[in-house]
Amino acid sequence: MPDSSDMAQRSDAVLVSLAAISLLVTPAALTRAGLYTHADQVTLLDPDNFGGILYNSSNAWLVEFYASWCGHCIDFAPLWKSLASDIKEWKPALSLAAVNCANSKNAKMCRNFEVSTYPTIKFFKAFSKPFFKGVPYDDAGTNVSALRHDIIDYLEQHGENVWPPACPPLEPTSMAEVQNFFAANSVQYLALIFEDENSYLGREVTLDMLQYENIAVRRVLSSEENLMMMLGVQDVPSCYLYFANNTHRKVTVKMATRTFYTYYLRRLPGVTRGAYKLMVPDSTDGATMPPWRDFDGSKVYMADLESALYYSLKVEVGTHQELSGETLTALSHFITVLAKFFPGRPFVMKLLRNTEAWLADVGTAQISYNAYMDVLGNKKGVTGLSLSDGVNWVGCRGSRPQFRGYPCSLWTLFHVLTVQAAKYNESLALRGKSAQTDPLEVLHTLRRYVKHFFGCRECASHFEAMAAESMEQVDSLDKAILWLWSRHNRVNNRLAGALSEDPKFPKLQWPPPDMCAECHSEVNGEHVWITDAVLKFLKFHYSPENIDYNYLEGEQELLKKQKAKEEIPPDQGKDGPKEEEKEDEGGEEDEEEERNEEPPTRNDEQREIIKTITGIRRDGRQKRTFIKGKRTPRTEEDDIVDLDSFVNEQYKSQALKAKAENERASLVKEGNHGPQLHLQSIDDSDSLDYTALQERLQKRGIGSRYQAEPRKQNWLGLLGMSFSRTDISLCVLLYFLSSLCLLSMYLYFKMRFRWRKWKNGFASA
């Protein structure tokens, strides 16, 4: 058996070996990692793809050759990333790429391109031939604006024969070309940028609008006096819209800069991204789009927020059949933050707090998704708890089913929570309370939710990378708001032009100039954010005062649906309904008589109408009804309560009576005395109210399909439609007894009267 000294020597040897391996592996791993990713809008080149990308390409390329260990390259990388983000819309004409020469796989490639110092930038014209080594970019600019101008200069060096096909003309236009423009081009707008000769504004806006259809942009020099006089141009730079009917309009913006002009032109009616985006089918599942609903883009819609709650809490969490450990902790924290900061309607907040309390009682024990859904679905029937059971996009609705929707609403929900946390803390301070909200409480919660539940795993990994990079540096609630805002804009930048982008709602840096002009500025030709103005805007935009409650399903409708779900037994639909209630005395005899009695005769047209209304097939041994909003356990077909009972004079009166009594007792027990029932109570009136019936049909969405017509009824049916056979028998018996009583009294008084008359006559005699 080895002694302790041998074991110590062996452990030292293992440590030395591990250290040596780490020294060998770590640099290689670092060099392979590189300084860029595809999320940076930079194409990564290696020996396997550079030939197919750089050569015979329809667009030009600007390539950076760097070494990941090079200090200057590390300093230059943020500038290269910013440039790639700034000119991402130029990709059909020019794209950026990078090669990590520190990666041994790329070493030979870098030698072939004669790269000896880092970073080296080379320009490749469109349709460059194989073995072309590129034009060296000797004097790299020190800011994005300078690099952008250099790129335009390189593009203009293309001859007519090798001009990138997607790149619009960058040279100045003339009056003759403008006057004949619409004869040769089928676009709705011609934007004319008037500027000085040394200005790059017109060419930048032209390239920014490259991927947008139904508009063209041309540069006009201030020396084109005839055109300036025709349009009445007085200021330079300025922008004018010219139309096919020879009319024009000046573009009015806060600042005559690239950012403001580009945004204005992209938001013109009929202007969409499209020519260079591979479009996907309208819907992969054949779903049809409901009618479009107009919305105010300056508002936050509660319908979107509640849809985000529904999808996140019921659908996304549903991917986990069992919840335990970190997953359960992430869910508990998410529910807690929602219960604390979500500005929801009272019955939604009550449900969130109820779920939070249940999760707190559960603790760290493993739970099933079904148990969680029983609580979230309020299976215990607690009064006044409900959550929308479906999505209802308004401000987040896309032009097609696959666009926007849940991701948009989830970002909106996240922003609302960060703003509400800051406002909550401010309210505590105003009340003189010392308790302070953790600046990272909401952000940590959102990070856990995205990590464990968000369905798009690539998106979740990107969010996790952003969080790991800088989230821990947030030290105030205001900075938490700005952190989430800046990361959302980073995501918008990464996804701009992707297949997931809605062409009618392109990914823009937010807030746009028309919503917050004070948030934007420009320094040395480069756009900058005014963070104080952005923070002020975010706190207003995502505040409860700016939430719109249009297009929401009403509280009563949601609670009615919830009530209907509470009445469904858990085993319904599996083994059929079970008997749970004792029958009244004499009920079996009455039910047997009713089963033997033939129901009113219906013709084919009536059957079709009833089938359309109720969705029930009355053939075979069918014993269930699937009326929307009302499903109850029953044992026999006689217990069915639906609209069919109204159409056919409620001939199953005992079932209706039992139904009404049960629901009335349930409402009294819950303390809810409002008008909760869809069905008319048997005690409401002596006869059918067809106007009220039609109103109820319309509420159920079927009023247009069926118009209830009053049917002729005999007097016996009208008198007896609200009573069972036993009731009628008792009534007849009571009537008979009362008649006998009256007859007896009549005979008694008649005999008494005769007796008195006889007695008086006898006395007088």
Q: Which residues are catalytic?
A: 70, 73
Q: Which residues pair with 249 in a beta bridge?
A: 241
Beta-sheet strands, E only, within 284-368: 300-301, 322-323, 367-368
Give exposure, 560-578, as e/b (b: 16+ Cβ within 10 Å): bbbbbbbeeeeebeeeebe
d(CA 137, CA 96): 13
Phi then psi dihedrals of residue 103, to 5 deg? -80, 125
How many CB atoms neighbour CB 121 within 10 A? 22
Which residues does residue 137 pair with via DSSP β-bridges, in sequence order? 121
Q: How far, in Å, are 283, 390, 393, 424, 498 from residue 409 at the CA level?
A: 20, 13, 8, 22, 19
Distances (CA, A) of 652 to 579, 656, 679, 726: 19, 7, 14, 14
DSSP code of 681?
Answer: P
Residues contacting 681, CB < 8 A, separation 6+: 660, 664
717 backbone φψ class: left, alpha, beta (φ>0; ψ -120 to 50): alpha
DSSP 644-679: HHHHTTT--HHHHHHHHHHHHHHHHHHT--S---SS
CB half-sphere exposure, 706, CA atoms < 13 A: 28
Q: CA dist 764 to 750, 753, 756, 757, Å?
A: 21, 17, 12, 11
Nearest to 452 by CA among 333, 327, 365: 327
Helical spans, DSSP H, in 671-724:
690-699, 715-720
Provide the 10 A C-beta neighbour count for residue 266: 19
Strands 215-221, 189-195: parallel, antiparallel or unpaired by DSSP? parallel
The answer to whether the CB of 399 falls within 8 A of the CB of 451 is no
Region class of 615: left (phi > 0), else alpha (psi between -120 and 50), else beta:
left
3-state DSSP percent of the chain in helix, strand and coil, to 5: 50, 10, 40
- What is the full DSSP assignment across 403-416? SBSHHHHHHHHHHH
Q: Say how far apart CA 420 and CA 305 lie, in whole Å.
A: 14
Strand duo 272-273 + 120-124: pairing:
unpaired
For CA atoms 17, 22, 25, 27, give the dihedral sign: negative
Closest residue by Cα to residue 347 from 557, 632, 544, 570: 557
How many angstroms separate the CA atoms of 689 and 710, rounded?
Answer: 9
Place of tokens 């030698």: 111
Strands 189-195 and 135-137: unpaired
Answer yes or no: are the C-beta atoms of 97 and 62 closer than 8 Å. yes
- Exposed, middle or buried by CB within 10 Å (0-12, 13-18, 19+), for 587? middle
From the list 153, 283, 173, 164, the residue with the least C-alpha distance to 228 is: 173
CA pair distance 476, 422, nearest whole angstrom:
9
| Residue 124 identity (one-letter amino acid) | F
Q: Which two tokens stand for residue 63?
A: 């390539």
